[in-house]
Amino acid sequence: LGKLAPIDQERMQKNPLRVLDSKEPGMDNLLANAPHIADHLCEDCETHFADLRKMLDALDQPYTINFRLVRGIDYYTKTVFEVWAEGIGAQAAVCGGGRYDGLAEAVGGPSTPGVGFGSGIERIILGLKEQGVEPPAADQPTVMVAHFGGVTKETAVQLTYQLRDAGIGTRLAFARNRRSMKSQMREANKHDIQYVIILGESEVVEQMATIRPLAGGDQTQVPFAQLIDWLQQA
């Protein structure tokens, strides 16, 4: 500790993780030999982090793991993140945030998991212009993908992004800890969804979506490969 700058010695007493983000001279060499945070995760955090990476891999979403990334708010839990854009110079971070599962409870509310972020709208606009991206119109979701967690959630996330990329307004049901289908249907009705895609384990195995029209009509099954065409013609 005697090798740390005075400001970092103070950080060690208040929040040791802040030292990982130190910009003080000579800290890079010290941190290179410091204990690795990845080797000291609790079982719950390790499982959560593995599930997160699995989901990103399933979406072919590129990412870099930085175990020295520290955000400036002490109530973050588990994962923190930053989003970077190419082609906008040195200030390439356009978004940053993380989980704060204990925040609601800390201020007197019920135990409620949460995630949030802050973004720089000017940097986002600059990045869109540099890459020639035209923002799509914000359409009201007409489809919701319901699932039962586990492997069905992974498939639901993939399917949701595929439908959105095809221009179909799609909502992913919030289903934590195997939320009941009845509860997910109430969510769909609340948001005026027209079609609910139900993904159980059998649907995932057979690559077949069960579609339920909420305005009435018969429930039907459509192969994943034909789902976009079916919804565009519905």
Does the structure show a pLDDT above 90 at 68? no
CA distance 83 to 95: 5
Residue 129 pLDDT more than 70? yes
Q: What is the pTM of this model?
A: 0.72
Query: What is the Cα–Cα distance from 162 to 156, expressed in whole angstroms?
Result: 10
Single out the residue of 192, 190, 191 nearest to residue 215, CA to CA: 192
pLDDT band for position 139 (cuts 50, 70, 90): low
Classify domain 143-233 at the CATH topology level: Rossmann fold (3.40.50)
Per-residue pLDDT, averaged over 56-80, amounts to 86
pLDDT at residue 115 tops 90: yes
pLDDT tens digits, one per residue of 162-213: 999 998 999 999 866 567 889 999 999 999 999 999 999 999 999 999 999 9
Is pLDDT larger for residue 153 or for residue 2?
153
Per-residue model confidence (pLDDT) at position 222: 97
Domain layout of the chain by residue ranges: 39-131, 143-233
Per-residue confidence (pLDDT) for residue 205, from 0 to 100: 96
